[in-house]
Amino acid sequence: MPGNTDPLYSRAGTLGVPAAVTAANTSSQGGGTIGTDIFLALTADAINGSFIRELRMNPVASVAATATTATVARVFLSTQASGATTSANTHLFAEVALASQTADQATTATTPVIVPMNFVLPAGWSVLITNHAAPAANTNWKTIPIGGNY
Amino acid sequence: MKTPIVFLNAAHAGRRGFMDVDESSHTVMSITFDDGTTVPDNPGYSYRTADVDAEIKAKEATPVLEPEQPGELNA
């Protein structure tokens, strides 16, 4: 017998914890300290897990017309939501190139980088983000997860 | 362009250096420790720019005030 024959719908939308990356992490193996060099974007619903449709990464700046540093963003799935992470509990899910963009312009919009997810993140797991290079002064890449909690 | 940085790895915590950014491509070409050792994008290093580090440390040093509870002003 299958465990469930009924479709599942999310109970409430979630945007996780929109995460601004403020540091470089040059490892793709998942090691770091959450909040210092690897950043929490979403923690799955503690009981039923969460569906994640996508991550939207936007370049932002506090000073008009500032160029971001070209880098690679990494998305990790982890059983940790705080403290230190290691390659044993934090696993690379995707890498995307973040080309330099001039953020916060008067008449030209930036372009978000979208990472499709489209899967159910089990309870006890979280989504973490790193950037390979440190952001340029007065800029960073901010990640907003879009999904729903079951 | 050389931008001052602060290393964050436990093994190098607090050590300073700089990242060399190519101004035309906005690409980090290398990172260098305060002793002059250059590590061209080697895996395993984490760091942030010195201005962001100062901003974060200033925030950490600022006491967080608890928000007032509803009705507290009228109590």
> Which residues have a Cβ under 8 Å from the Cβ of A133 and sit 6 or more positions away?
A24, A69, A70, A71, A72, B19, B27, B28
Average predicted confidence (pLDDT) for chain A? 95
Q: Which residue has the higher pLDDT, A53 or B44?
A: A53
Q: For residues A8-24, give the mean pLDDT.
A: 93
Q: What is the distance in angstroms between the Cα of B48 and the nearest Cα belonging to chain A?
A: 4
Q: pLDDT value at position B70?
A: 63
**Across residues A53-57, what is the average pLDDT?**
97
Q: Which of residues 23-62 of B touch A (CB under 8 A)?
A: 25-28, 31, 41-49, 51-52, 56
Q: Give the tokens for residue B13.
A: 């915590």
Task: Tell me the percentage of chain A whose pLDDT exceeds 70.
Answer: 100
Residues of A with CB under 8 A from a CB of B: 22-29, 31-33, 36-37, 67-71, 100, 132-137
Which residues of chain B have a CB within 8 Å of the CB of A28? 43
- Taking the C-alpha atoms of residue A51 and residue A4, their distance in angstroms, rounded to an integer, is 16
Q: What pLDDT sits at residue B71? A: 62
Higher-pLDDT residue of A88, B12: A88
- Nearest chain B residue to A133 by CA distance is B28
Query: In this complex, how many residue pairs, one in chain A and one in chain B, have their CB atoms less than 8 Å apart?
Result: 74
pTM score of the predicted model: 0.89
Has residue A61 got a pLDDT over 60? yes
Res. A146: pLDDT tops 60: yes
Q: Which residue of B has its CA nearest to A68?
A: B26
Round to whole Å and give the CA distance between B64 and A89: 32
What pLDDT band is residue A7 in, cutting at 50, 70 and 90? Answer: confident
Question: What per-residue confidence (pLDDT) applies to B72?
Answer: 60
Our CA-based measurement puts residue B61 at a distance from the nearest CA of chain A, in whole angstroms, of 16
pLDDT value at A4 more than 80: yes
Task: Provide the ipTM.
Answer: 0.81
Residue A121: the pLDDT is 97
Residues lower than pLDDT 70 in chain B: 68-75
Tell me, what's the pLDDT at A54? 97
How would you label A5-31 residue by residue, b for 16+ Cβ within 10 Å and e otherwise?
A: eeeeebeeebebbebebbbbbbbebbb
**Cβ contact B45–A26 (<8 Å):** yes
